[in-house]
Amino acid sequence: MSALVISPMFISGCATAAYNIQERFGIEKRDILVGRVESVAESQTEAKEEFVDALEAFRAVVNVDGGELENVYDDLNRAHKRAETKASDVRARVKSVKQVSNDLFREWEGELNQYSDAALRRASERQLRETQARYDVLVDKMDDATASMDPVLTVFNDRVLYLKHNLNARAIAALNTETASLEGDVARLIAEMEQSIAAADAFIAEMNGTS
């Protein structure tokens, strides 16, 4: 059976159709962008909580008797999986923000040439550049927060695998030396996420005219 190849033009057409449907109900790309930025902030907040929970599960490993290791491993593995799921959710939502923002800015740029009033065109273009500048700050922080998840997930994955194959007291002794380093990684991750969430809130306030 031959593989199904989906054309980028087809995907773009689907996105355009979706926008057209929403715009028919009075929902503009600007509103879609604000909504997606809000969803990223919510997703990052949830991811931050899952990473904190995973760190707590990791801490519990170094304070457990050998006979309880299997239960502790199960708890840590579940925490790791939840953190991975939330991280994937964050990545997907950031991607959706980038998609609609690119479409919004492209449409706005293209419509500048439709003005007959030069003063209004200049005002609209100035507003476009200011909005793009605010968006660039926001997306940089989103990307930083997203990138900071990967090293922490890698550390968690390594430790889960190590416990899986070394459910014994020697594994606990080896892991104990890693706790401080891991806590520092998670603390930096949380700080990145909090900065990204704050940038999202500021961007939303600017777009809604409430700042």
Domain that holds residue 87: 29-208
Closest listed residue to residue 82, CA positions, set 171, 153, 186, 9: 153
Average per-residue pLDDT for the chain: 76
Residue 35 counted as domain residue: yes
Number of domains in the chain: 1
**4 domain residue, yes or no:** no
Structural domain contains residue 12 = no
Cα 80 to Cα 83: distance, rounded to the nearest angstrom: 5
Is residue 133 pLDDT above 70, yes or no? yes
17 occurs within a structural domain: no
Domain assignment of residue 164, yes or no: yes
Q: Is the pLDDT of residue 131 over 60?
A: yes
Q: Confirm whether 87 is domain-assigned.
A: yes
Q: By three-state DSSP, how is residue 2 classified?
A: coil
**Does 2 score more than 50 pLDDT?**
no
Do the domain assignments include residue 40? yes
**Would the pLDDT of 102 be above 80?**
yes
Domain-embedded: residue 18: no
pTM of this prediction exceeds 0.85:
no
Confidence of residue 64 (pLDDT cuts 50, 70, 90): low
